[in-house]
Structure 1
Amino acid sequence: MVILRRAPAQRVAEVCLDESQQRAVDSTAAVLRILGGPGTGKSTLAVELVVHTVSKGARPDECLVVAATRAAAGVLRQRVTTRLGGTSTLPLARTWQALGFGILRAEAALRGDPAPRLLNGPEQDAILRDLLAGHASGDAPAPEWPASVRDALTTRGFRNELRDLLMRAVEHGQGPEDLHRLGRELGRPEWVAAARVLREYDEVTSLSRHGSYDPAWVLTAAADVLEDVPSALARLHESLRFVVVDDAQEMTSAAARLLRVIARGGTRIVLIGDPDSAVQTFRGADPRFLASGWEDLGSAPGAGRETVVLDRGHRLPEAVAAVANRVTRRIGALGGGEQRRFTTLGAAGQVDVALLRSVAQETSHIAAVLRRAHLVEGMPWTDMAVVVRGSARAASLRRTLAQAGVPVTAASAETPVRDEVAVRPLLALLEEAVAVARDPGHVVDPVRVADLVLSPIGGSDAVGLRRLRRLLRQEELGGGGGRSSDELLSDLVRDPLWAGRLGGTGRPAARIAAA
């Protein structure tokens, strides 16, 4: 657990580059690699490189910053546009998928073909769900799944893992036959079964969704077009002369292949990142490209390449940077670890370590530190942050801090809409309503009823739910019945009049019943 408190800082109106950043801006290498540790100004430098290139005569539309995520691309797009002080006809910052999709769309328009479309995560999940449901019902022959995963075939978690496996196979250019062969050779029966699902997935998407690309395949398809059609690569080179890749450690093998093809057209490439900071490896990111694979970019290996290491930190306090340096010296480095050796220009800072006996003590200590900083030192709540290891721990800590009077705002996460807290109850309610409409005798799962009563739709809490269960049980026993509280809950949400007669205690269930 790490508690961060922001040190007072002076804001400057203009961007001032340090010596290492200025060396990067002044470089004329055809392929430039910039390595930097945390807080050394990598993203700021990505923006300034575009500004410098435009100042030398390039049009803004000829420059592009590629980011790993949509959120990062949005921030960089706004920063570049603000620094340039003008507008452009094309986005100045995009994700890899957006870049690949733009290439495919432009070529389709020239050929007069229908515009392609990008399959999103929910659409992929729906296709896999239908395929697995067809296997379970016997409508289609099922793959021979190993016993270790059979119980999970109907769960959303299994579909997510299956989708990740299929997308990683596609990114590495492995078709159904290749995945089947690898499963046999490496003794992975689940890969053998997944190869059959991949074949069916390709058939379904090609027939029912012609011209559609999933995020993993779109980069491979774009690279294929540029390699197979030399005029397409020439057109891209004419319109795109400068590419900056921010967070290059997050590149997948498909993105690396697309970048190699683009570099062959003569486009200048700048890679910015830190091999230590890769966080998308579970989605196929491979930081080895930034560490060593970048050397084969361009037409002549070894020509026109340069590496600049940022040696000044602008964000980490001196004490925090010193602790980080002592820790990282004991950890193996990918590519030599040059980016780890930098001096910080931040404030002195302070680092404290507390060893506590339990989670409860840890939470109390964190709350005390934050409240002391706010009440005694006068530090605004917005200048503090608590970093935890997992989302489950973050949720429990957030509740505890709120009870201790510490206002907490959770960082937004990129989660599917169906998994949002406000959406899950709506989907569950709709599913149960459809089931009841199809079968009037349908019994609603008591666990789902309890979740709905506790949801924002029902508006109850744990105490209110227990009170409702006791009231239902008392009425049942008073009338000579013997149904359990679970059975009574299931019947209650099917009868709005009954729920309405229970007064305030039954009001949450009445709202569910009415809905």
Structure 2
Amino acid sequence: MSSSFSTGHPPHPEARRGSRGAYRLVRTPPDRTAPPVLDAAQRAVVDHRSGPLLVLAGPGTGKTTTLVESVAARIARGADPERILVLTFSRRAAVDLRDRMALRIGAARAPQATTFHSYSYALVRAHQDSGLFVEPLRLLSGPEQDVTVRELLAGQPELERLGLTHVRWPDELRACLTTRGFADEVRAVLARSRELGLAPDALDAFARRIGRPDWRAAAAFLAEYLDVLDLQGVIDYAELVHRAVLLARRPEVAADLAARYDAVYVDEYQDTDPAQVRLLHALAGGGRTLVALGDPDQSIYTFRGADVNGILGFPEAFPRRDGGPAPVQVLRTNRRSGARLLAATRLITQRMPLPRLPADKVRAHREPAAARDGGRAEVYTYPTPGTELDNIADILRRAHLEDGLPWREMAVLVRAGARSLPTLRRALTAAGVPVDIDGDDLPLRHEPAVAPLLTALRAVARAEAPGRSEAARGGEEREPRERDAVERVPEDREPGERDLEEPAPGSPELAEPPAPDSADLAELPASDSADPAEPSAPDSTDPAAQPRWLDTETALTLLASPLAGMDAADLRRLGRALREEERAGGNMVPPPSDELLTRALAEPERLAVHDPAYARGAQRLGALLRTARERLANGGTAEEALWDLWNGTPWPGRLERAA
């Protein structure tokens, strides 16, 4: 047996060595950030070696910086990064912490930073019973949980009629079983029960003791709901942390967790719920090192189960090894706000009691020192919401134009984002104020990149809904309000000319329709109800009476969206060209441009003869809608149609280039 080898050059051509046009990969080490200058209170936290510690830190006091520096100092003293765990409330906060620790310490030496739910899921997966679950447990999203609860509630009357249900809802609630509001309340009760560690029988006993038949029904429903989740191999967020707590109480798992970490850090501790506090007892109870940072004055997530009593009771809940309460440290210097603004906030926070914490620590927390002077707090009242929005836009514009304040240094906070942000964005944009909405505050269906796709999907889904073809052959009847609106439009109006009350294309009302759920796509109405007084079959010679599956408002919304990318000038030029085409065909009184644009988009072959300089966007959009309609007509799913729409846009290429 023999072998041979050659040290010569390979037969395929090789790039010339040292050629001036050759590329060479160079590993660039990340820039390490210099350690920040810490004050005495921050240094006391960084120098903390062992045992529990509560850090009260208001906004702008350097809470995250202190946490990162404490972790860096612990690793510099010889601690193993894998034996340090950093937990926080949100995914965004976890990503920010990971990035900052990687810059400060180095990515290879940065400890694990994750959310409570992510850590709980990893723990449940690691100890999942393979005999009960063949596939890994899947985490149920919020909308999926909502659908599951609503479906179970909707089936209760039928199961009760057949005598197959164990849930007995009070008579006064039976009419509410199919409503969304009642489903939301039931879902909240289920989540709070698991966060408090209540099993269905414990909730039933509590409801029996206080005489609440509705809660007894909720307890029985909770048992049925948990059985359904187990059969489906899924788990919701509240049940996820609850099961992680149950796992952590097993002797073998508790011993493993106790020996796994030398130090546990918790950011935004005021946002924890009782289940997460119980998990922390398993991870770092018994006097082990647990550093919790938070601000009880910022506990605003009660609707998600957060309990401010967690931070108020921390010194007693996590005592030292000698049995004494955990020490409390206060970050006292605010580097973000001016002295006047701090004084204004102090007037509000002083009215909020903070029991169970040392009085001197509360006083120091409520009276931070300002690192700079200045700041201004003013209160305005307005007679109407519209006047309020106009004045907000005026204040921002004056600050930018007269005071020279950059746009990036301004912010507008709202109470209810889903209801207020669309209106606020429309008002600010109309006033010339650039707007960038935080992604966490905007529902996915309202995202600028998502809303047009959902609008297009809803349009083609309605067009291909069962029974639509029969309605189209008989002529598509429009709602009276829409029909009257079309008839009232002046004949010479251009696409950009609208009434004051009518939203312009691309405005939030049009660009952000509600997302179609699975029920919408599966059970869309076959056709709108027709007026018996109207003729069932329109005159085939009248172009305006031809069946059309796309309404005017949706068409204009899509044309102004990124799917077509047409501006007002392009819309006006294309509208005029379509009107000229109508006149050339013998119709001396053509319909309004908006109506012609809608017809052309529904029948994209009509756009082929027009100049791509102004019609390219409409041509591309028409082809996209036709492709999606054909997909649904051939038995495709809504997901496949949505994928066709996505692939037909330039966005996939942009993301690929950016990556």
TM-score bracket, shorter-length normalisation: 0.7 to 0.9
The whole-number CA distance in structure 1 between the counterparts of 2:146 and 2:230 is: 16
Deviation at 1:35, TM superposition (A): 0.6
Contact 2:101 2:107 in 1 (8 A): no
Query: What displacement does 1:74 show?
Result: 1.2
Query: RMSD of the alignment, in Å?
Result: 4.2
Q: Which of 511, 532, 549 is residue 493 of structure 1 equivalent to?
A: 549
Distance of aligned partners of 1:175 and 1:270 in 2 relative to their CA distance in 1, 3 Å threshold: same
Determine the C-alpha separation between the residues in 2 that align with 1:398 and 1:372.
18
In the alignment, which residue of structure 1 is the partner of 2:428? 401
Bigger mean CA offset, 291-300 vs 306-315: 291-300
Matched, 1:372 2:398: yes
Where 1:503 maps in the other structure, the secondary structure is helix
CA distance in 1, matches of 2:129, 2:188: 31
Whole-Å Cα distance in 2 between the matches of residues 21 and 355 of structure 1?
Answer: 40
Equivalent residue, structure 1, for 2:416: 390
1:176 aligns with 2:176: no
> Could you tell me how far 1:149 is from its partner in structure 2?
5.3
Q: 1:109 to 1:238 in 2, by over 3 A?
A: farther
Superposed CA offset, 1:145-183 (max 9, x none): 456655554344543332222111112122222333333
User: In the superposition, relative to structure 1, how do residues 439 and 364 fare at CA in structure 2: closer, same or farther (>3 Å)?
Assistant: closer
Task: Give the superposition deviation at 1:81.
Answer: 1.5
CA contact (8 A) 2:463 2:549 kept: no
Aligned counterpart for 2:597 among listed residues 504, 508, 511: 504
Give the structure 2 partner of residue 49 of structure 1.
70
CA contact (8 A) 1:418 1:424 kept: yes
- Decide which of 74, 86, 102 is 1:81's aligned counterpart: 102
2:380 to 342, 346, 354: 354
Contiguous gaps of at least 5 residues in structure 1 = 1-11, 451-458, 466-475
What are the residue-to-residue correspondences of 1:194-343 with 2, within 5 Å? 194-209=218-233, 212-230=234-252, 232-264=253-285, 267-297=288-318, 300=321, 302-303=323-324, 305-334=326-355, 335=357, 336=359, 337-338=362-363, 339-343=365-369
Preserved contact between residue 89 and residue 268 of structure 2 (Cα < 8 Å): yes
Distance, in Å, in 2 between the alignment partners of 1:225 and 1:281 is 26
**Equivalents in 2 of 1:478, 1:75: separation in Å?**
63
Q: 1:191 aligns with which of 207, 215, 230?
A: 215
Which letter maps to 1:159?
A: A
| The 10-residue stretch of structure 1 (265-274 or 108-117) with the greater mean CA deviation from structure 2 | 108-117
TM-score (norm 1): 0.79
TM-aligned CA distance change 1:397 to 1:120, over 3 Å = closer
Q: Is the 8 A contact 1:36 1:340 kept in 2?
A: no
Instruction: Report what 1:413 is aligned to.
Output: 440
**Residue pair 1:248, 1:290 contacting (<8 A) in 2 also:** yes
What is the deviation of 1:265?
6.5
Q: Is the 8 A contact 1:136 1:142 kept in 2?
A: no
CA separation in 2, counterparts of 1:440 and 1:290? 63
Deviation, 1:121, is 2.3
Cα contact 1:295–1:302 (8 A) shared by 2: no
Instruction: Report the residue type matching 2:262 in the other structure.
Output: R
- Which amino acid counterpart does residue 374 of structure 1 have in structure 2? H
Q: CA deviation at 1:272?
A: 0.6
Which structure is larger by alpha-carbon Rg, 1 or 2? 2
Deviates more, 1:66-75 or 1:199-208: 199-208
Letter aligned with residue 436 of structure 1: P
What per-residue deviation string (whole Å, max 9, x for no partner) do you get for residues 338-394 of structure 1?
Answer: 421211113422333334333333222222221111112222111111122222233
**Per the alignment, do residues 91 and 309 of structure 1 end up closer, same or farther by CA in structure 2, a change over 3 Å counting?**
closer
- Tell me, in whole angstroms, the C-alpha distance in 1 between the residues paired with 2:384 and 2:141: 42
What one-letter code is carried by the residue in structure 2 that aligns with 1:204? V
- Cα deviation for residue 464 of structure 1 reads 8.8
Q: C-alpha distance in 2, partners of 1:480/1:238?
A: 80
Aligned-partner residue type, residue 190 of structure 2 = L
Do the aligned residues in 2 keep the contact of 1:401 with 1:408 (CA within 8 Å)?
yes
| Structure 1 residue 460: Cα displacement | 13
Query: For the Cα contact (< 8 Å) 1:29–1:305, is it kept in 2?
Result: no
Aligned with 2:155: secondary structure?
A: helix
Task: Give TM-score scaled by structure 2 length.
Answer: 0.63
Question: Does the CA contact (< 8 Å) of 2:258 and 2:282 recur in 1?
Answer: no
Q: In structure 2, the residue corresponding to 1:87 is in which secondary structure?
A: helix
What are the within-5 Å matches in structure 2 for residues 437-456 of structure 1?
Answer: none
Letter aligned with residue 172 of structure 1: L
CA distance in 2, matches of 1:157, 1:509: 38
Code of the residue aligned with 1:194 in structure 2: it is A
Following TM superposition, by how much is the alpha carbon of 1:204 offset from its aligned partner in structure 2, in angstroms? Answer: 1.2
* Cα deviation, residue 304, structure 1: 7.5
Q: Secondary structure at the match of 2:114?
A: strand
1:8 corresponds to = none
For the residue of structure 2 that corresponds to 1:305, the secondary structure is coil
Taking a change above 3 Å as real, the CA distance of residues 291 and 304 of structure 1, as seen in their structure-2 partners, is closer
2:184 maps to which residue?
160
Q: Which residue of 2 aligns with 1:470?
A: none
Letter in 1 for 2:425: R
Q: Using CA pairs below 8 Å that are at least 6 residues apart, which structure has the higher relative contact order? A: 1
Q: Percent sequence identity over matched residues?
A: 33
User: What is aligned with 1:103?
Assistant: 123
Structure 1 residue 56: deviation in Å?
0.8
Judging changes above 3 Å, is the alpha-carbon distance between structure 1 residues 308 and 276 closer, same or farther for their aligned structure 2 residues?
Answer: same
Correspondence for 1:94: 114
> Deviation of residue 278 (structure 1)?
0.9
Report if aligned partners of 1:29, 1:306 keep a CA contact under 8 Å in 2: no
Contact 2:339 2:372 survives alignment (8 Å): yes
2:151 corresponds to: 130
Against the structure 1 CA distance between its residues 331 and 254, is the aligned structure 2 distance closer, same or farther, given a 3 Å change threshold? closer
| Preserved contact between residue 129 and residue 159 of structure 1 (Cα < 8 Å) | yes
Question: Structure 1 pair 251/503, CA: closer, same or farther in 2 (3 Å)?
Answer: same
- Map 1:421-432 → 2, pairs under 5 A: 422=451, 425=455, 428=458, 432=462
Post-superposition shift, 1:47? 1.2
Structure 1 window deviating more from structure 2 (48-57 vs 192-201): it is: 192-201
How far did 1:264 drift?
3.6
Q: Alpha carbons of 1:394 and 1:342: their partners in 2 closer, same or farther (altered >3 Å)? A: same
**1:263 touches 1:298 (CA, 8 Å); kept in 2?**
no
- Taking the aligned partners of 2:203 and 2:460, their CA distance within structure 1 comes to 38
1:184, CA displacement in angstroms? Answer: 4.0
**Contact 1:66–1:243 at 8 Å: present in 2 too?**
yes
Amino acid at match of 2:66: L
Listed one character per residue, the Cα deviations across residues 189-213 of structure 1 (whole Å, up to 9, x for unaligned) are 442332232111111122231xx43
Deviations 1:60-109 (A, max 9, x none): 22112111111111111111111112325x86211111122222333349
Within 2, Cα distance between the matches of 1:356 and 1:463? 24
Aligned residue number for residue 142 of structure 2: 121
Task: State the AA in 1 paired with 2:282.
Answer: V
